């Protein structure tokens, strides 16, 4: 009875343990409230109702970069690490208390996908540390901003929102992102801004980035693409030729895709279209000056004015240079004269002619060298059917192999000439439309008509027997002329007769007429003659006509009969 009326010390201890759940279980590892009893140097002395007080550094009560606002009598929450250490003091932590409270709050916000507020206060490898109201999180460098940030100093020590990407309380890991918040905010701004924009609207923007194909312009929270083809009506090689990063430009909204939130912009749409009335400004046949802006395999583009370009097709570039690259005729930035050939205002196309701006060399040649005139030129090429001769005005004329020389085959005549040789010829025909000039070389020769046994009107031909007149007696033979004013040729000493006595040039006299056979033509197309060849040919003919020498008749008898027969015919 007395024991129940007057509790003992053990009774009080049991009651205390019961109310706190045991001494260790009740305090250690828990967040409890305490009172600041004193401030000593940089420490706050706190009473939490244990046997002894605990000391906590003042910095644990301050926000990053700030001083602690703490005084005696303030009530604070602390975390009890241990009830009593070796010095008999309670081991308390304000940071742990804040951390535990913060973790509870962060887990709830993470589950609800809410943004959390934090302060960037330090740098670590690969990123930064963020104070989330007591819990320390890791901010990767790639998650600081939408674009790479060189200097993060302006972003430190200021409260700002973050998005928790992942957290693990057991390991004490939290990863946050500032970039996700910015992207979400920006997406909201873009959606709101894009709803306020309309196609055709004119708006000012700031150039944020320049690429080869255009520029990105900030329209106040949303970017639009200004394609290089919409910068100007004139040809623009690179956007940097007209604009720079940071420039404020006035643009027109061409297209808006609200699903993809893409906006196409244009600057040239704010200018007057130079193609309006192009047909009237550039009539067909007009001769104008322009600048070569681009060269391709199929021609060259010539700028007539800013925004107006025409194409000179490769076939319209030169009268004489065929199948050559346009770059070998004109060069970029060269000023040239062109003629308007065709204008298609709807398709924005103008066909130009470069060769039409100069005189047609075939017409000029026809005026200066009519049919029958004599020309001189270099053999440019030899083909299987004739020779091409370079003429005035950078045009070529062709000598067909049948018009190279008299009396020999076309193949033999072609073999007489080489590329690079300078020759003379007569103009036989000119076809300006087909750009053809026909020439003849044999027409310049004094091709004499045949005399003696050759039929009247026949030209000199190989193996023909003709009468020649001795013009000059030389040691090596005779210079002779066919007929009275025919072609001149030569009889070599060895061709003056079959016998050695007959091969003496001195037995002939200037002006003497004699018969000889045409044996061929030299490279200058002069005929060569031979008395010896004629004698052999006549002997063979006599043998064939009067029988062989085996019949008993002598060769002299046979020749005598042949000569008598010829005299009778004459």
Half-sphere exposure of 497 (CA within 13 A, CB side): 10
The token pair that represents 394 in the structure block? 């950078």
What is the model's pLDDT at position 454?
Answer: 39
Instruction: Give dist(CA 398, CA 471) in Å, integer.
Output: 35
Instruction: Give dist(CA 314, CA 323) in Å, integer.
Output: 8
Instruction: Give the H/E segment covering residue 566.
Output: helix 555-569
Q: CA 451 from chain center: how many Å?
A: 72
Instruction: Give the H/E segment covering residue 477.
Output: strand 477-482
Structural domains of the chain, ranges and CATH numbers in brackets: 27-98 (2.40.50.140), 113-183 (2.40.50.140), 197-270 (2.40.50.140), 280-357 (2.40.50.140), 361-444 (2.40.50.140), 465-551 (2.40.50.140)
Q: CA 245 from chain center: how many Å?
A: 26
- Sign, CA dihedral 401-405-406-410, equals negative
Q: Where are the alpha helices (DSSP H) in 21-162?
A: 23-27, 94-111
What is the model's pLDDT at position 300?
Answer: 92
Place of tokens 């023909």: 464
Residue 455: partners with Cβ closer than 8 Å, 6 or more residues away = none
What is the model's pLDDT at position 551?
Answer: 46
CB 293 within 8 A of CB 302: yes
Q: State phi, psi for 418 to the nearest 5 degrees.
A: -130, 160
What is the model's pLDDT at position 561?
Answer: 59
Place of tokens 């004015």: 305
Strand order of the β-sheet with 31-40 is: 54-57, 43-47, 31-40, 75-82, 91-93
CB 266 within 8 A of CB 254: yes
Place of tokens 């055709």: 200
In terms of Cα–Cα distance, which of 59, 32, 182 is closest to 121?
59
Query: What does DSSP assign to residue 21?
Result: T
Kindly give the parts of the chain with pLDDT less than 70.
1-29, 52, 63-65, 81, 83-90, 93-95, 407, 446-460, 484-485, 522-525, 545-570
β-strand pairing of 91-93 with 75-82: antiparallel
Instruction: Give dist(CA 176, CA 98) in Å, integer.
Output: 19
Instruction: Give the H/E segment covering residue 364.
Output: helix 361-368
Half-sphere exposure of 487 (CA within 13 A, CB side): 28
Collapsed DSSP state (helix, strand, coil) of residue 492: strand
In 474-551, the DSSP E strands lie at 477-482, 488-492, 513-521, 527-530
Place of tokens 């000012």: 204
What is the model's pLDDT at position 499?
Answer: 87
Place of tokens 């241990």: 82
């Amino acid at each position: 009875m007395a024991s129940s009326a007057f509790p003992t010390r053990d009774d009080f201890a049991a009651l205390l343990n019961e109310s706190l759940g045991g001494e260790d279980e009740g305090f250690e590892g828990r967040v409890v409230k305490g009172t600041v009893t004193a401030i000593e140097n940089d420490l706050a002395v706190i009473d939490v109702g244990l046997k002894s007080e605990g000391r906590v550094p003042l910095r644990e009560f301050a926000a990053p970069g700030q001083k602690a606002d703490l005084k005696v009598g303030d009530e604070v929450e602390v975390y009890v690490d241990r009830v009593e250490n070796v010095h008999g003091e309670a081991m308390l932590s304000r940071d742990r208390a804040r951390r535990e409270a913060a973790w509870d709050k962060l887990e709830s916000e993470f589950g609800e996908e809410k943004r959390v507020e934090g302060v960037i206060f330090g740098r670590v490898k690969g990123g930064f540390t963020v104070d989330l109201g007591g819990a320390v999180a890791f901010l990767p460098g790639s998650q600081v901003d939408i674009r790479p940030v060189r200097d993060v100093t302006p972003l430190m020590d200021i409260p700002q929102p973050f998005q928790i990407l992942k957290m693990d309380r057991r390991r004490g890991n939290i990863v946050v992102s500032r970039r996700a918040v910015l992207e979400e905010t920006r997406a909201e701004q873009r959606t709101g801004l894009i709803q306020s924009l309309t196609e055709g609207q004119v708006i000012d923007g700031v150039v944020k980035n320049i690429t080869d194909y255009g520029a990105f312009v900030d329209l106040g929270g949303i970017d639009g693409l200004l394609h290089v083809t919409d910068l100007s009506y004139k040809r623009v090689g690179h956007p940097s030729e007209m604009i720079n990063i940071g420039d404020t430009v006035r643009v027109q909204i061409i297209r808006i895709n609200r699903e993809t939130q893409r906006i196409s912009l244009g600057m040239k749409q704010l200018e007057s279209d130079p193609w309006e009335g192009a047909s009237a400004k550039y009539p067909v046949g007009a001769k104008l000056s322009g600048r070569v802006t681009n060269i391709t395999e199929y021609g060259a583009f010539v700028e007539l004015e800013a925004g107006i370009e025409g194409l000179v097709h490769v076939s319209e570039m030169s009268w004489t240079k065929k199948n050559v690259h346009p770059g070998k005729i004109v060069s970029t930035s060269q000023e040239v004269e062109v003629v308007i050939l065709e204008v298609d205002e709807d398709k924005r196309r103008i066909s130009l002619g470069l060769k039409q701006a100069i005189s047609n060399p075939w017409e000029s040649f026809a005026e200066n060298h009519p049919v029958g005139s004599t020309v001189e030129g270099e053999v440019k090429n030899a083909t299987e059917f004739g020779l091409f001769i370079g003429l005035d005005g950078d045009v070529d004329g062709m000598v067909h192999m049948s018009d190279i020389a008299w009396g020999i085959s076309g193949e033999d005549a072609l073999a007489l000439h080489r590329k690079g040789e300078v020759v003379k010829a007569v103009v036989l025909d000119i076809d300006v439309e087909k750009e053809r000039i026909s020439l003849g070389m044999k027409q310049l020769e004094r091709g004499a008509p045949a005399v003696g046994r050759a039929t009247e009107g026949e030209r000199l031909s190989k193996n023909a027997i003709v009468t020649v007149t001795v013009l000059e007696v030389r040691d090596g033979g005779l210079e002779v002329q066919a007929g009275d004013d025919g072609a001149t040729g030569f009889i070599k000493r060895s061709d003056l007769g079959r016998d050695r006595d007959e091969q003496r040039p001195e037995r002939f006299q200037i002006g003497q007429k004699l018969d000889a056979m045409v044996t061929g033509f030299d490279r200058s197309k002069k005929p060569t003659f031979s008395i010896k060849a004629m004698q052999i040919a006549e002997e063979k003919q006599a043998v064939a006509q009067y029988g062989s020498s085996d019949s008993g008749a002598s060769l002299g008898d046979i020749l005598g009969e042949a000569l008598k027969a010829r005299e009778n015919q004459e």
